[in-house]
Amino acid sequence: MSGPLRVLLADAAPLHRAGLRTVLTGSTPIATNSTPLPAGRTPLPTNSTPLPAGGTPIATNSTPLPAGRTPLPTNSTPLPAGGTSLPAGKTPLLAGQTPLPAGSSPTRASRGTASTDDHGWAGGQREIVIAGEAGDGVEAVDLARRLLPDVLIADVALPRQDGLAVARAITEARLAVRVLILTSRDTDEEVFAAIAAGAAGYLCKEAPQAELVAAVHAVADGGAVITPQVLARMLTRMAGAMPPDSGESVAARLSPLTGREREVLVHVARGRNNGEIAAILGVSETTVKTHVGHVLTKLRLRDRTQAVILAYETGLIRPGM
| Contact by Cβ (8 Å): 7, 131 | yes
Q: How many CB atoms lie within 10 A of CB 135?
A: 17
Between residues 115 and 24, which one has the greater pLDDT? Answer: 24
What is the SS3 assignment for 230? helix
How crowded is residue 292: how many other Cβ atoms within 10 Å of its Cβ?
Answer: 21
| Residue range 199-223: mean pLDDT, rounded | 88
Report the range out of 92-96, 206-210, 240-244, 310-314 with the highest average pLDDT: 206-210
Mean pLDDT of the residues in the chain? 74
Sketch out the chain's domains with CATH numbers: 5-26+119-235 (3.40.50.2300), 244-313 (1.10.10.10)
Residues 6+ apart with CB under 8 A from 133: 8, 9, 10, 17, 21
Distance of CA 171 to the CA centre of its chain: 20
Q: Which of 207, 221, 138 is nearest to 178 (CA)?
A: 221
CA 255 to CA 258: how far, in whole Å? 8
Residue 177's pLDDT band (boundaries 50, 70, 90)?
Answer: very high
Percentage of the chain with pLDDT > 70?
59
Q: How many C-beta neighbours within 10 Å does residue 164 have?
A: 23
**What residue type is 176 in one-letter code?**
A
Across-strand partners of 128?
5
Residue 306 near residue 300, CB atoms below 8 Å: no
Highest mean pLDDT among 109-123, 139-153, 221-235, 291-305: 139-153
The values of phi and psi at residue 311, to 5°, are -60, -40
With the CA atoms of 185, 191, 195 and 197 taken in that order, what torsion angle do they form, in degrees rounded to the nearest 10?
-40
**CA 2 – CA 137 distance, rounded (Å):** 29
The pLDDT of 13-19, averaged and rounded, is 92
pLDDT at position 31 = 42
Cα–Cα distance measured from residue 121 to residue 114, given in angstroms and rounded to the nearest whole number: 10
* pTM exceeds 0.95, yes or no: no
| Residue pLDDT, tens place only, 235-278 | 666 555 555 554 445 567 888 899 999 999 988 887 777 888 98
Q: Alpha-carbon distance 269 to 100, whole Å?
A: 52
In this predicted structure, what is the pLDDT of residue 270? 75
Between the CA of residue 160 and those of 2, 135, 163, 175, 183, what are the distances in Å? 35, 10, 10, 20, 17
* pLDDT at res. 49: 53
CA distance 230 to 279: 28
